[in-house]
Structure formats: structure tokens, C-alpha cells
Amino acid sequence: MLENSQALRDPVRVKRSLFAVGICILGGLAAPTHAQSITPVTTLSPQAQVGQQLFFDTNLSASKQMSCATCHDPNNHYAQPTTNTNPVQFGGPSLTAPGFRAVPTLTYKQYTPPYSDSATNPDGVSTNSPGGGFTWDGRADTQAQQVAIPLLSSFEMANTSQAAVVAVVQNASYAALFQAAYGTDVFSNTQTAFTDVGLALQAYQQEDPSFNAFTSKYDYWSTVALSNGKPVNLTAAETRGYTVFNYTGNCFACHYNGPITGGGGALFTDFTYENPGTPRNSKIPANATKILLPTYYDLGLCTAVNPDPINAYLIPHVLPGSASLCGSFKTPTLRNTATRNVFFHNGVFTSLAQVIDFYNTRDTNPGKWYPTVNGVVQKYNDLPTAMKIYVDTTDVPFGLSPGATPFMTAQNEADLLCFLETLTDGYVAGVTPQDPNCVN
Ligand code: HEC
Ligand code: HEC
């Protein structure tokens, strides 16, 4: 996160610097250079074409009913379908095994660096800290490596081995395409073929423009040339919301949307791990099953294990030498967050308004967010007692005393919501409905 972030905020500067990087042309549509690592292709490479087939193939699960797209719905920015309001999903051979965490969007993930205990912050000024990696705890270094997790997890796609996965591909309608992409003898080595499955899914997520569209109202507004020269303006409420985002609410400190050192930007995350004291979600079966798992806590970063793509085991994550990262989770992008049903790693929040209000009143009115037992508010109730000291109490909007006046007014909260709604891809001027609450 940015330290002393209020002093560093300058939305106008950020906006101009994004505009200054110019544009490149993608099939008649202009795309921002913050997508510079995307090759502007209209057809996918053979590898990505295979990846597309794999992404939608339900045969790649033990149940034969679940594909990547089941949880990562292309119609909802690769988050869970809008009709699905579960905090966690059910997988396994008969789709009855509950997961442990909420499904993140897969949009804008390709810019994520590998996990490091001492990652350089993309803002160029914050001190190094744990950052990067895939999943909520960063335990996969690349999108290719990540693929082993859902394919082999007993509560997701639940294949019993790499060989089982490769056998499905070998018998698939796209087996010849797979060979065309990775060599005619690719099926002769199970490990190589399994690694290639990961590489193909990675290629698809990186090449298909729908994963990295940069077609939100925010993009058209901040990089005017994207909208074919017709400026898109934010409404009064959205503009005020952007100021709240940058200053009053201090969201920008972690959901960093400025230019990134080395190129690119506007991802609405700095890839760091933070501990906002997320309330426990009793709707997650693992949290409710007190008999089987009496002390189950999802501690995030400090308990992460890495998938080993070669041996398909989970191997220990290289951890920072401190328990202080227990309860820290990766700062997610806020792009396409407005269409989500559940928020945060445990899906405890079910509306964006609630998320904003949590940030604003966690400390001034904790009883609103945590249960009260015998008259005592159980603050930070999703962490063991000894670990509650690691919750972030210094970054604005946190850190106020109970009963104090929160940083944001009700109007600020409403305006901030309006701004976050401008981060949804697929905006078409004059066609995309304007939230009537976000005009004036
Ligand atoms: C049963 C639902 C489910 C299925 C099926 C599934 N995922 Fe996921 N996906 C999740 C959840 C939940 C997470 C977060 C996991 C965690 O933090 O431990 C996730 C995380 C990810 C991430 C990391 C995103 C980030 O923010 O770092 C990627 C990439 C991803 N999935 C891709 C895939 C691909 C590719 C497939 C198919 C091979 C797939 N997923 C299948 C539920 C699913
Ligand atoms: C100190 C860093 C930090 C600050 C400041 C911060 N966030 Fe976050 N934000 C996070 C982290 C970390 C998570 C994930 C926490 C978890 O999963 O338990 C998160 C999650 C979210 C999510 C859920 C996204 C999803 O996909 O589930 C939203 C929405 C969000 N933040 C909005 C905001 C807004 C609005 C502000 C300003 C009022 C803000 N954040 C300030 C670090 C921060």
C-alpha cells in the first residue's frame, strides 16, 4: 500500500499520465497501451485456441459437469455467474464438496507478477512488501501453474491425477489441435502434456481480448482516444466518487490505479497483501462444521502452499518469516467488481454498498460487522485471538475510535459506489444504462 497516501493523490495527474502513454489499434477499436503486453490479434494462436477448448470442456472434471467456465463465467467477467449467490462453490465428483473461498474474476490477471516476499510496489514509492502471485494467497506464480489447482483439487474439478487429465485431452475433439500446438508426440509424456494444458489455458487468458478488454466507462473517460475521439464524461456523482476513491476513502492506496513502474497501469490493485479484518462468513460450510473442523480459520498468506506443476503436489510456499501475515489476502482488482454477488476472499459481503460501508465504519461502529457475545463485540472474528493484532488499523479509512465520525459521509459512500460502477467492461456510450442514482 502507499504510505501517507493522501499526500500523493492527484487524480488529474494520474489521468493525464495514462492519456499520455497513447494508444494502439486493435481491429479498428483503439486499445490503451496499458494493455501493451497483449499482442493485438484478431485470431488466437493455436495454443490459445486449445486453451479456449479446455476452458469450456466439462469432461475435464470428475463430475463431467464442471469446466473452468462453470465458476468463471464469461458472461460475468469470468467471475461466478450472476445467478449464483453462493459464497463458495461446490465441486468434486458429485458436485457436493464445498469450496473454501469466493471465485475471483479472471479479468486483468495477466499483469500479476509472480509472488515475492519483498515485491517492488508498482506505485514506485511504497516500500517492498509481500505481493504478486495468483489466487487469494498468491500460491501460484503463473496462470499456467495455477491451472493444476482446480484440475486436481478434490472440491473443484477433482481429477485424480495428471494422467487422468491428459487422457481426457487425448480423447477430446480438440486432440489434434493440441498436437498441432504442442507437437505430434505431446501425448507420449504425461508431465509435458499436463504442463502444456496449463500453458494453453494461460495463452487463452492472455490472448483473448475479453480477459483484458479495457472497455469500461472509466477507460473511455481516462483515455479519451479509446472512444473513437468522442469524449465520454463521468457524471457529477461519478466524478465526486473518483475524488472519494483517491482522497477521502483512500482506496487508491491499495487498489492502485496509477501508472505502473515499467509500463502499464490502471489495474486497481498494487498486488499487495493486506489484512482488513474481514468478518467471518458463517455461510461457508467449513466455518459452520464445528465438529469436523473446530478451529478452522482461513489464514491466507501465512498458510499458503504452492502447486507443483510437475508432480502435482502442493508444496510449501516460501513464507515471510513472520506470523504477522496471517489474515492477509491479495488486494483484488476493482475492475468488474460491480457485477459481483459476493465480495472478499470469503464472500462475506453481498453488495458493493456493504463493502464500502464496512471500510468506512469497521472501527467507528464495529457492532455492525461483527457478532456481539455477552455484550462484547467480537471484532476480527475470523482470526484466532493471538492473530487479531495483525489486522490493519493504520490505513485510512481504518483507525478511528468507536463512535468517532467516519471519514466518509453517506453521500461520499453513495458517490464512491457510482465511481466503482464505471469500472465495468463493455460500456457503450448511449446504450449502457446509466444508474439513475449516479447522475447528479
Ligand atoms: C469450482 C469453481 C472453480 C473452478 C471449476 C475453477 N476455478 Fe479458478 N478459482 C476458483 C476459486 C474459488 C479461486 C480462488 C482460489 C484461492 O484463492 O485459493 C480461483 C482462482 C483462479 C485464478 C487466480 C485468480 C487470481 O485472482 O489470482 C485463476 C487464474 C483461475 N482460477 C483460473 C481457472 C481455470 C483456468 C480453471 C479451469 C482449469 C478454473 N479456474 C476452474 C474457482 C474455480
Ligand atoms: C489497506 C489496503 C486496502 C485499502 C485502503 C482498501 N482496500 Fe479494498 N481490498 C483490500 C484487500 C486486501 C481486499 C481483499 C480482502 C479479503 O479478501 O479478505 C480488498 C477487497 C475489496 C473489494 C472486494 C473485491 C472482490 O473482488 O471481492 C472491494 C469492492 C474493495 N476492496 C473496495 C475498496 C474501496 C472502495 C476502498 C476505499 C474505501 C478500499 N477497498 C480500500 C485492500 C484494501
Indicate which ligand has the atom closest to the C-alpha of 138: 1
Categorize the per-residue pLDDT at 421 as very low, low, confident or very high, splitting at 50, 70 and 90: very high
Query: What is the percentage of the chain residues whose pLDDT exceeds 70?
Result: 84
What integer is the mean pLDDT of 151-178?
97
Query: What is the pLDDT at residue 1?
Result: 60
Say how many Å lie between the CA of residue 168 and the centre of ligand 1: 20
Average pLDDT over residues 372-397: 95
User: What average pLDDT does range 120-140 have in this prediction?
Assistant: 93
**Which residue, among 144, 370, 191, 157, has the nearest Cα to 276 in the 3D structure?**
370
Kindly tell me if the per-residue pLDDT of 29 is higher than 50: no
Q: For residue 295, what pLDDT is reported?
A: 73
Rounded mean pLDDT of 131-153?
95
**How many other CB atoms sit within 10 Å of the CB of residue 254?**
23
User: Strands 376-377, 372-373: parallel, antiparallel or unpaired by DSSP?
Assistant: antiparallel
Average pLDDT estimate for 36-61 = 82
* Residue 262 banded pLDDT, cuts 50, 70, 90: low
Q: What is the mean pLDDT of residues 134-138?
A: 95
Whether residue 81 contacts residue 326, with contact meaning beta carbons closer than 8 Å, is answered with: no
CATH of 5-438, picked from 2.60.40.790, 1.10.760.10, 3.40.47.10, 1.20.1730.10, is 1.10.760.10
108 CA from centroid of ligand 2 (Å): 16
| Whole-angstrom distance, CA of residue 51 vs CA of residue 68 | 11
C-alpha pair distances (Å), 308 with each of 62, 152, 393: 20, 11, 36
Q: How far is the CA of 79 from the centre of ligand 1 (A)?
A: 9
CA neighbor of 240 nearest in space, from 420, 30, 45: 420
Task: Find the range with the poorest average confidence among 59-73, 214-228, 253-267, 315-329.
Answer: 315-329
In whole angstroms, give the CA distance from residue 349 to residue 371: 15
Specify the residue with its C-alpha closest to ligand 1, atom 42: 103
Q: What is the mean pLDDT of residues 221-236?
A: 82
The C-alpha cell of 412 is what? 461520499
Q: What is the pLDDT of residue 193?
A: 97
Q: Is the pLDDT of residue 139 over 60?
A: yes
Whether the pLDDT of residue 382 is over 60: the answer is yes
pTM of the entire predicted model: 0.91
Residue 36, pLDDT above cutoff 50 = no
Q: Which residues of 394-410 are buried (b: 16+ CB within 10 A; e: fewer)?
A: ebbbbebeeeeebbbee
Q: Average pLDDT, whole number, for the chain?
A: 87
Task: Identify the residues whose C-beta falls under 6 Å from ligand 1.
Answer: 66, 68, 70-72, 89, 91, 99, 101, 103-104, 106, 109, 134-137, 143, 146-147, 150-151, 156-157, 201
Backbone angle region of 93, left / alpha / beta, with phi > 0 → left and psi within -120 to 50 → alpha: alpha
Domain ranges (residues) in the chain:
5-438
* Per-residue confidence band for 325, with pLDDT thresholds at 50, 70 and 90: very high
Angle between helix axes 175-182 and 162-170 (nearest 10 degrees) is 110
CA 43 to chain centre: 26
- Whole-number pLDDT of residue 2: 59
pLDDT at 224 over 80: no
Ligand 2 probe mutation, 255, 298, 350, 392, most atoms within 8 A of CB:
255
The CA 362 to ligand 2 mean position distance, Å, reads 13
Q: Which ligand is closest to the CA of 327, given by its number? A: 2
For 206, the grid coordinates are 492472455
Mean pLDDT of 138-166: 95
Query: Residue 33: what pLDDT?
Result: 34
Ligand nearest 80 Cα, by number? 1
Average pLDDT over every residue of 260-288: 90
Ligand number with the minimum distance to the CA of 304: 1
Give the model's confidence band at 28: pLDDT under 50 very low, under 70 low, under 90 confident, else very high: very low
Residues with CB under 6 A from ligand 2: 1, 249-251, 253-255, 274, 276, 278, 329, 331-332, 334, 337, 340, 343-345, 352, 355-356, 359, 392, 395, 397, 416
Helices 175-182 and 46-55: angle between axes, nearest 10 degrees? 140
- Pairing mode, if any, of strands 116-119 and 305-307? unpaired
